[in-house]
Chains A and B, each alone.
Chain A
């Protein structure tokens, strides 16, 4: 059974840093691209970042580029999101998700996402 379990959320002051983690099990972690998405309280979903299975390719939303870093440790089956220079608008539930591995017309995409964790709440406030 595929499981994704986030941890590391909490309260942090504006300008501070936090690292959230996602422990994966039930599939070959190193073969799957992974992503982070977030959802501010009462709002919709926002894609944050994506990393390939090897970790060699990463993508970021403009809203977090230069402040957040996605990484993975395939020996530990764990995905990370290092968040620096946090702002109030970064307050959200952060979800990790697994890339389905969808390919069409000879191109393989980093979406959609077939398994999601339960999320971890990050609150940025003084």
Chain B
């Protein structure tokens, strides 16, 4: 079973800053990695899939990179609406697994 580990658990940042979130898989998931954003009381929203492809209508300030076991999500300039919890998910091997999430909070 593949375990997904995200770091850090919480990140305090200011609007306008650039931020990088990390996700590590316990074994290779190739590029079969997705990132989701979840705001309080809402369903998750797909941001990135295939490690680096932006989903429909996702702003260009979101970018993903990595392959194998190490992945990153970068937000180039944080907007107020970006403060949320971010999850990575591997869909390479059953059982599909999510990371525990990284919470972006306003500094």
Contact = CB atoms under 8 A, between A and B. Distances in A.
Contacts of B101: 44-45
B14 interface: no
Contacts, number: 67
Given A116-B44, A117-B43, A104 B32 contact: yes
A8 to B, nearest CB: 17
A111 B31 CA distance: 12
B50 A47 contact: no
B100 A102 contact: no
Given A50-B96, A102-B49, A109 B32 contact: yes
B55 A110 contact: no
B97 interface: yes
B44 A45 contact: yes
Nearest to B95: A61
Given A44-B101, A45-B44, A112 B87 contact: no
Nearest to A93: B43
B56 interface: yes
A1 interface: no
A50 B1 CA distance: 17
B49 to A, nearest CB: 4
Contact of A112 (B30, B46, B99, B100): B46
Interface in A30-61: 37, 44-47, 50, 59, 61
Contacts of A112: 34, 36, 46, 49, 89, 91
5 contacts: A45-B98, A59-B94, A100-B49, A111-B96, A114-B46
Instruction: In the A-B complex, list the 7 residue pairs whose CB atoms are closest, starting with the nearest.
Output: A111-B91, A112-B34, A116-B43, A45-B98, A47-B96, A112-B49, A44-B101
Interface of A: 37, 44-47, 50, 59, 61-62, 95, 100, 102, 104, 109-114, 116-119
